[in-house]
Structure 1
Amino acid sequence: MVAVSDPQVFFTGFPGFLGSALLERVLARGDGPVACLVQPKYLETARERAREIADGLDGVDREDAISLHEGDITEPDLGLEDSADLEGVSEVYHLAAVYDLGVDRDLAEAVNVGGTEHVLDFAEDVDLEQFHYVSTCYVSGRYDGVFTEDHLQEGQSFNNHYEETKYRAEVAVQDRMDVGLPATIYRPAITVGDSWTGETDKYDGPYYLLESIRTQPSWLSVTFSLPGSSDAELNVVPRDYVVDAIAYLSDRESSVGEVYQLCDPTPLSVPDFVDALAAAAGHRVVSVPTPKLLARRVLEQLEDSGTSVEPETLEYLDHPTRYACPATKRALAGSGLEVPPFESYVDRLVAFVEENPDVGDEAMV
């Protein structure tokens, strides 16, 4: 794919699952051309996906719609050999991150924190109109209470390096916003597959719960019930809602300076969530009250034996934080966009898993 002469939009996180869908929406509404920063090892995949996107859009110049630029957010100047042709960029979408609950500290630091700082530096060197940053609701860490768009630095503890480094990355973005960066922050909750097709490119998070159920007999599957699970919520949103919401909000001038939590205002409790997964999988489930330390030891042994259930998942079965999204609800009022109930699409998620057993749980790094 040849480089465009004057790209207007710059993307990181392509050809990732969320980035690819959002890039398509940006082009479809007439923004672009788009320049994508791509790691060399994903270049061929990126070429294929860029062709598919451009070929599927009417009124888009298939040659110039998307340009691919080899680089890496962990490197100074994004590892770009020549960024002269990116001087016309006016919008930046920063999605690249390590989405892995069990990520190593050094890798999470390099990608989520250092990488975000490098993209912010790039944004300050162009004639920027808006910086779009995809964060996560879980910058909350283990905040004990209701966490809204107005919360960030609350003295919270964190479940893992993923949460902590995404928190520090958002702090870096908000610090630059305080001195004039025209930015918008989007915080998705736990994102699963498409609510219509079930499609996803990674089985992690809630999919570990599903895996633990599906690998047991359908007539009796056992799950852990931690102290505090009955009062905890599992806040899940489908990919299409996240993409639709970001596409809509990013096209509003009034979104500059805002933080939007893309969460479910009425999520299921952990027990109800497990029951919904089990029902969709056709399993009868019994939840056994289990001390957290014992449950972790069991999952670590299963992980050592090759069973794909991350022990880090346990922390979300007694998660003390509840999420609210008043700013998002106000901004989306009248748009027709809202989070579908998990029970309305869980069967599609399960069907996709059953029909696509080869999808892995590896993060794109």
Structure 2
Amino acid sequence: MTADSETAPAVLFTGFPGFLGSALLERVLARGDGPVACLVQPKYLDAARERAESIVSRVGGTDDWRGNADSDDWRGNADGGRTDPDGEHAAVHLFTGDITEPGLGLGGALGENGSLATVREVYHLAAVYDLGVDRALAEAVNVRGTEHVLDAAERLGVDRFHYVSTCYVSGRYEGTFTEADLRDHGPFTNHYEATKHRAEVAVRDRMEAGFPATVYRPSIVVGDSRTGETDKFDGPYNLLRLLLAQPRPLAVTFTVPGASRSELNVVPRNFVVDAIAALSEREASVGETYQLCDPDPLRVTAFVETLATAADRRRTVRVPTTKRVARAGCRLLSRAGVSVDPATLDYLDHPTRYRCPRTRRALDDCTGALAVPPFDAYADRLVEFVRDHPDRRDGPMA
């Protein structure tokens, strides 16, 4: 039977309890767009339950979250949901499943009388965010997974579909890349970029056929600009950890040919979440693509200097080298206990410049007129968070 209309999910999330997904879920609940169903891999179920409790508590409830079906069975199914014993309506429903499976591994929950039949809006954030991801895994999650979520959304007949892509669908495009660009791109640096490109093409193809989707493309996402909080230390954090591992009077970093001309485009998590929350409320955003990047980013050399200043490294020496030699150096550093991912080096001479004229106009029309804070205004908070959390992971959820 179909779940009661007052308790049944109206929104479906993938990518929970991930870094962006958790923060965005909180915003969606806070504005009253729930109840929300979250598709969770079984191995992350305990983390999802803990995070759901915390989120619901902050947005004004105490017990209004739950798993579907019996208390020992967290898999959504056609039997639908139940209300809590005290009669409170659940704000978050946890469904175990997997986007790499057709039907998302949800069985009858997507059917006409299933417990997700009431879903009208989908936020698809699940992906493998890893520069060194294996090709087979990237294909399964980023490409086929997105196609499966699209199929499920069409089967449900949703009114809105929000897809989180990445600026790096550009590949190594030489020039300025805006929201209007996609089909023309440079060669891809890795399987992450290539599969995210193919996934966005799949979304855009359905948009052209009338599917009500919106695409959001963050650049490199770092921690919260107010607190520095992040779930993992990857990307630019490799540079920061290299700096922090060295004595204060003098720090040595790599520089590769082209770094002085290349930009490193980063945005804090709170800006990305605020922007998606604001844009997703606008009916005019259906059919649009928004690039969530810094319109005035630092060049790589200035970025490293800003990090060094925030880390209180009094002098930084950049050693010119080739990427081949630098990769060998990264492997040696990792063996010495300083984790530096060689895949990060490809972004020190990245030729693409990201700009976002359409997004800036749209955000100017939103309440509060959102803007990206300059990196030097919050770099010290990122450094402080890294220092306070030395054991934070650097691997992806996959």
TM-score, scaled relative to structure 1: 0.97
Report how far residue 225 of structure 1 moved.
1.3
Does the CA-based 8 Å contact 2:238-2:340 persist in structure 1? Answer: yes
Does the CA-based 8 Å contact 1:189-1:235 persist in structure 2? Answer: yes
C-alpha distance in 2 between matches for 1:148 and 1:241: 18
Question: Which of residues 148, 151, 174 in structure 1 aligns to 2:204?
Answer: 174
Q: Please, which moves more after superposition, 113-122 or 328-337? A: 328-337
C-alpha distance in 1 between matches for 2:165 and 2:23: 17
C-alpha distance in 2 between matches for 1:127 and 1:114: 20
RMSD: 1.4
Does the CA-based 8 Å contact 2:14-2:39 persist in structure 1? Answer: yes
Aligned length: 363
Q: Could you give the per-residue CA deviations for residues 98-123 of structure 1, whole angstroms, max 9, x where no partner exists?
A: 01111111111111011101000100
Partner of 1:316: 347
Which 4+ stretches in 1 moved above 4 angstroms? Answer: none
Report how far residue 59 of structure 1 moved.
7.0
C-alpha distance in 1 between matches for 2:283 and 2:151: 23
Report how far residue 299 of structure 1 moved.
1.7
Partner of 2:41: 39
Opposite residue 104 of structure 1, the aligned amino acid is D
Pair 1:358-2:386 in alignment: no
C-alpha distance in 1 between matches for 2:383 and 2:338: 18
* SS at 1:86 equivalent: coil
Partner of 2:376: 343
Report how far residue 205 of structure 1 moved.
0.2
Pair 1:223-2:253 in alignment: yes
Question: Which of residues 294, 317, 321 in structure 2 aligns to 1:290?
Answer: 321
Q: Please, which moves more after superposition, 42-51 or 346-355? A: 42-51
Partner of 2:99: 73
Opposite residue 39 of structure 2, the aligned amino acid is L
Opposite residue 252 of structure 1, the aligned amino acid is R
Q: Could you give the per-residue CA deviations for residues 92-143 of structure 1, whole angstroms, max 9, x where no partner exists?
A: 0000000111111111111101110100010010121110000000001100
- Larger RCO (alpha carbons 8 Å, 6+ apart): 1
Report how far residue 90 of structure 1 moved.
0.6
Opposite residue 315 of structure 1, the aligned amino acid is D
Partner of 1:18: 20
Q: Which runs of 5+ in 2 are unaligned?
A: 66-89
Does the CA-based 8 Å contact 1:88-1:127 persist in structure 2? Answer: no
Pair 1:207-2:237 in alignment: yes
Report how far residue 155 of structure 1 moved.
4.1
Does the CA-based 8 Å contact 1:299-1:309 persist in structure 2? Answer: yes
Pair 1:189-2:219 in alignment: yes
Report how far residue 287 of structure 1 moved.
0.5
Bigger Cα Rg: 2
* SS at 1:184 equivalent: strand
Does the CA-based 8 Å contact 1:227-1:318 persist in structure 2? Answer: yes
Identity %: 65
Q: Could you give the per-residue CA deviations for residues 287-326 of structure 1, whole angstroms, max 9, x where no partner exists?
A: 1111222212222333455531111101110000000101
Judging changes above 3 Å, is the alpha-carbon distance between structure 1 residues 57 and 109 closer, same or farther for their aligned structure 2 residues? same
Judging changes above 3 Å, is the alpha-carbon distance between structure 1 residues 301 and 328 closer, same or farther for their aligned structure 2 residues? same
Superposition pairs for residues 1-365 of structure 1, below 5 Å?
A: 5-58=7-60, 62-63=64-65, 64-83=90-109, 84-283=114-313, 284-334=315-365, 335-365=368-398
Judging changes above 3 Å, is the alpha-carbon distance between structure 1 residues 278 and 193 closer, same or farther for their aligned structure 2 residues? same
* SS at 2:108 equivalent: coil
Q: Please, which moves more after superposition, 233-242 or 48-57? A: 48-57
Opposite residue 33 of structure 2, the aligned amino acid is D
* SS at 1:82 equivalent: helix
* SS at 1:260 equivalent: strand
Does the CA-based 8 Å contact 1:101-1:161 persist in structure 2? Answer: yes
TM-score, scaled relative to structure 2: 0.89
Q: Please, which moves more after superposition, 212-221 or 32-41? A: 212-221
Report how far residue 82 of structure 1 moved.
2.9
